[in-house]
Chains A and B, each alone.
Chain A
Amino acid sequence: MNMTPKAVVIGSLMVLTAVVLSVIVLPYADTSKTTASDIYRPRSADEAAGRKIYIANGCVYCHSQSIRSIDWGLGAERIAQAGDYIQDRPILLGSERSGPDLSQEGGEHPDDWHRGHFTNPRYTRPLSIMPAFAFLGDAAIRVLTNYVQSLGFKNADRRMARQRRWKKSAVTAYEAGPEANVKWLADHVPEGWRSVPNPYPTSAAGLARGHKIYQDFCLGCHGPVGDGMGPAQPHLYPPPLNFTILKGRGISGGILYYQIMNGITGTAMPYFKRELESEKIWDVGDYVAVYFINQSDANGKPRGIDAAYEP
């Protein structure tokens, strides 16, 4: 083959044209007609403005918005559909997941949690490697939060409504004083859990494990001595619980376990059941009971059969 300039230039352009027709134009004919998915709704102007801040600061380099069929471990209740993206210009699927996927983030946390988290992510998440965004200023953080709270569209709206409903009762309970607050917290734990003591005996190894979990997951809000004065505290309302007020107020290992596992929707307390296995939750619960409440029911009655590993 004689590679004349014409052969190189016209030949390569013809190949490129054919490829663009087959892998860009042809799929466009199909994918550009995608209709809205069941959860889809248009974004408000405020949410669209928040999306611009998200783009300007390169959030997309660490956060995907694309839940894959293999993402069962990330808490995927819903796999992404083409109809979720029909107003996204540009689409923000992401290419690397240094942080969690955000496509269903709306309503996972209340607004105040996000404001503390954006101010410095380590306030609410001690192990996070996300940059602090305090430099954006309060107004921009508010707008950005509105965008994040819209991720998941109608599902996010339902979750946000739930956050707002429970925030009201949580604030009322907090403002009514420690006695009422502790009662409100315990009353929402299902009856069966309330009467369960921590089934494992307090041990040095268990407390050491609990200490590590506490530092990695809890310290940002509840503080190093469990008084609720962690660095996130100024941003959160109702503020993080001061564990010392639980003493003598009928707290059981089961109540602590349930609250850690399920979180307290409406407050900044997230659920940890996807991050901590059962033993870790019992351990950190007992750590809080022993060190901060100074009152542990570990290994108390009613007791089941001791686990096989116990000495």
Chain B
Amino acid sequence: MSNAMATSPEKHLTARGFCITSACWMAVATFMGLLGAIELVAPDLTENLGWIVFGRVRPIHVNLVLFGFVTPGLLSAAYYFVPKLLRTRLYSEKLGLVTVITWNLALVAGVATLAAGLSQGREYAELIWPIDMAIVIAFGLIFFNLIMTVKQRNEPLLYVSVWYVLAAALLTGVTFALGNVVWQPDSGALVGIPDAILLWFYGHNIFGLLLTPLSAAVAYYVIPRACRAPLYSHTLSLLGFWSLIVIYTHVGTHHLLQVPVPTWLKVVAIVDSIAMVIPVMAFLINIWYTARGKLGEVHADVGAKFVFTGTIMYFFVSIQGSMMALPQVQRVTHFNNWVVAHAHIGVLGFAGMIALGGLYYVLPRMTGKPLYSRFLADLQYWLVLIGISGFAIVLTIVGLIQGNAWLNGETVYRVLPEIHIYYITRASLGVMIFCGALIGLFNIAKTLLAPSGENA
């Protein structure tokens, strides 16, 4: 790195790239979710439009939320704070930009192929082989860029956020390749029961090894800084980090308790699902005790407000998830909208809220400009919060109706009219979340594009 560059103001191009990536795809992803919700209410509204038939809209929605909105949002913050925490610059902004472009090309290709009916048919692993490879390469580039940044650091100690980001990029690169069975380019799948076991190992690790560690990294960065307080406990950071990697990776088979897989594997999944309380509470106690008595500071920064709300959602979704792994609970909750509610609390309520919080926290700091509108950010906060809370309530009710009706001997067809009104409510709440996404996109784009004093 030349001397001139070392002293020039940092532009954080990679962080900005992932920031606008996240904001744009959040709008598309939530629109696809809304479209799917409307199709469940009025199935003939999109009749004869094969490329947006529900079965294609749903994987587009899910993949875009996971890989278009939440992951880039969290990465944007990470690309900003990892060099900061290491008192250095990002190893290569050029490589970072290549990563952003690769990532976006993969997303565009993902939407196009899924809409065209090119799917491998495995949840969270639908994308075809070339796109899988692009994503694996992107994770490799992210890890390489960050580990090289670590190498050139001027700060000897690695802060907990850095551990989480490094582990997330590395372990997700590996599990993504494994879960998508990249050595079988045609099908991207194993055969029979082993395929189910691998799929849910992978599927659950998208949350366990990607969204959760990246979200934890952002929370560990934002909350102590916003509170101007030291982190409560280094020991709890260690416990949370290692127990997350050890325990979370075991739980995937709790999706298969009703399926003929080996019983010992189910027992492992149930026991470790309960043991998830350890990493969850280690993280939450650490964050909450750091913020103890300082909620005023958290509230004063809209980014920190999003992040803190995300940690509360994490509490609910994790306790719920542990409960849902109990066979007696799962008799009711399995195969129905209870799980859809759970997934939305986790991905939007926890990881999505923290991704938005990370964006709003780092955006003014990396651009050197104030946020375009604090009011719009607050408005988005409430739209998303009311939307996700409503989702959780409405879809949980639907799940209870479905699960209990089935146990009571009612057929699926008979239950459809009972849940129709809740599907309408869900679609209405989806409008709020989509509006929140549009407002966020506007706010973020305005901030990024505003004429700059410092960086012009």
Tell me, yes or no, whether B43 is within 8 Å of chain A by CB.
yes
Residues of B within 8 A of A100 (CB): 411-413
The A contact surface, by secondary structure, is: loop
Given A100-B413, A135-B49, CB of A8 within 8 Å of CB of B166: yes
Count of B interface residues, CB-CB < 8 Å: 89
Contact status A131-B54, CB under 8 Å: yes
Q: What is the size, in residues, of chain A's interface with B at 8 Å between Cβ atoms?
A: 77
A1 within 8 A of B: yes
Residues of B within 8 A of A56 (CB): 117-119, 121
Asked if B259 and A216 sit within 8 Å, CB to CB, the answer is no
Contact of A132 with B43 in the complex, beta carbons under 8 Å: yes
8 A Cβ contacts from B228-267 to A = 238, 242, 245-246, 249-250, 252-253, 255-256, 258-262, 265
- The answer to whether B250 touches A19 (Cβ under 8 A) is yes
Contact B147 A9 (CB under 8 A): yes
Complexed CA–CA distance, A92 and B163 (Å): 36
Residue in A120, A125, A136 whose beta carbon sits within 8 Å of that of B413 in the complex: A125
The CA-CA distance from A99 to B413 in the complex, in Å, is 7
Whether B95 is near chain A, meaning CB under 8 Å from some CB there, is no
Contacts A81-B260, A130-B43; is A57 near B53 (CB within 8 Å)? Answer: yes
Is B6 on the interface with A (CB-CB < 8 A)?
A: no
Q: Is the interface of B mostly helix, strand, loop or mixed?
A: helix
* Measured CA separation A58–B55 after assembly (Å): 4
Q: Is the CB of A80 within 8 A of B54?
A: no
Whether A278 sits at the interface, judged by CB under 8 Å, is no
Known contacts A86-B192, A132-B47; decide if A24 and B198 are in contact (CB<8 Å).
Answer: yes
Q: How far is the CA of A132 from the CA of B331 in the complex (A)?
A: 31
- In the complex with contacts A23-B201, A24-B198, A125-B413, A89-B187 CB distance below 8 A: yes
Q: Which residue of A lies closest to B143 (CB)?
A: A9
A216 to B194, CA, bound (A): 41
With an 8 A cutoff between CB atoms, is B48 at the interface?
A: yes
Question: Is B406 an interface position by the 8 A CB rule?
Answer: yes
B456 at the interface (CB under 8 A from A): no
Q: Are B201 and A24 in contact (CB under 8 A)?
A: yes
A291 at the interface (CB under 8 A from B): no
Which of A28-36, A146-154, A166-174, A259-267 interfaces with chain B? A28-36
Is A19 touching B249 in the complex (CB atoms < 8 A)?
A: yes
Report the minimum CB–CB distance from B253 to chain A (whole Å): 7
Taking CB atoms and an 8 Å cut-off, the chain A residues in 120-140 that contact chain B are 120-122, 125, 127-136
**Contacts A12-B167, A23-B265, A58-B55 hold; do A5 and B158 have CB atoms under 8 A apart?**
yes
A95 partner, pick from B255, B409, B411, beta carbons under 8 A? B255
Q: Is A181 an interface residue (CB 8 A)?
A: no
A163 is an interface residue with CB less than 8 A from chain B: no
B252: nearest chain-A partner, CB-CB: A23
Q: Assuming A3-B238, A131-B43, is B194 touching A27 (CB within 8 A)?
A: yes
Q: Are B158 and A90 in touch, CB under 8 angstroms? A: no
Cα of A55 to Cα of B188 in the assembled complex, Å: 13
How close is B33's CB to chain A, nearest CB, in angstroms? 13
Given the known inter-chain contacts A95-B335, A95-B339, please indicate yes or no for A75 contacting B54, CB distance below 8 A: no
Partner of B188, one of A24, A30, A90: A90
Query: Does A288 sit at the interface, judged by CB under 8 A?
Result: no
**Contact present for B193 and A31 (CB under 8 Å):** yes
Let me know if B166 and A72 touch, CB within 8 A. no
Any A CB within 8 A of the CB of B400:
no
Q: Taking the complex as formed, is B10 at the interface, i.e. its CB lies under 8 A from any CB of chain A?
A: no
Complex CA gap A45/B40 in Å reads: 33
Partner of A88, one of B178, B191, B265, B411: B191
Min CB distance B304 to A, Å, is 25
Listed in ascending order, the chain B residues whose CB lies under 8 Å from chain A are: 39-41, 43-44, 46-50, 53-56, 58-59, 117-123, 147, 150-151, 157-158, 160, 162-163, 166-167, 170-171, 174-175, 178, 187-199, 201, 209, 238, 242, 245-246, 249-250, 252-253, 255-256, 258-262, 265, 268, 331, 334-337, 339-340, 402, 406-414, 416-417
